[in-house]
């Protein structure tokens, strides 16, 4: 792990996004069933899974510091044939939370996939990316485009 003992405690945030693309017939079926499958409410389950994963990132990704997240919010919205998953995390600490946001969004996407795979094997998880991060030595950063 990187030594963060000498770093200042600052307010740090990160926002990550993942898109889950459904083939047209699966998207129609999914929407018609009010975003639920035989396994249950897809988005609610994905939100819980994503938050739990964000909190346990240090157990999943080698060399990540264990962090006490102060806030973790996951929002999921259908945009056409895609479920767009946004994960926003924050804390006051000595290291950034980009990996926690990426992990939360990615696990939420995997949960959507798992709960919907009976609709189609053609579901694609794509564009897992950092949208924005604030705080820390390197300062603020925002994706362009």
**Which of 60, 32, 28, 49 lies closest to 113 in space, CA to CA?**
49
Q: Reduced to 3 states, what is the DSSP secondary structure of residue 5?
A: coil
**Choosing from 3, 86, 114, 140, which is the catalytic residue?**
114
Tell me how far apart the alpha carbons of residues 82 and 131 are, in angstroms, rounded to a whole number.
Answer: 18
| Six-digit token string for 25 | 């017939």
For the beta sheet containing 124-134, the strands, ordered from the edge strand earlier in sequence to the opposite edge, are: 71-79, 82-93, 10-21, 124-134, 141-142
- For residue 114, indicate whether it is catalytic: yes
Residues involved in catalysis:
114
């Amino acid at each position: 792990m990187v030594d963060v003992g000498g770093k200042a405690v600052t307010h740090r945030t990160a926002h990550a996004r993942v898109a889950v693309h459904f083939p047209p017939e699966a998207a129609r079926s999914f929407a018609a069933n009010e975003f639920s499958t035989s396994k249950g409410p897809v988005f609610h389950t994905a939100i819980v899974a994503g938050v739990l994963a964000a909190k346990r990132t240090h157990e999943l990704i080698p060399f990540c510091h264990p962090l006490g997240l102060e806030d973790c919010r996951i929002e999921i919205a259908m945009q056409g044939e895609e479920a767009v998953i946004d994960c926003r995390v924050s804390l006051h600490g000595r290291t950034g939370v980009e990996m926690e946001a990426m992990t939360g969004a990615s696990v939420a996407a995997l949960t959507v996939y798992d709960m919907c795979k009976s609709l189609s094997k053609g579901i694609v998880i794509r564009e897992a990316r950092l949208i924005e991060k604030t705080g820390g030595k390197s300062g603020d950063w925002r994706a362009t485009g």
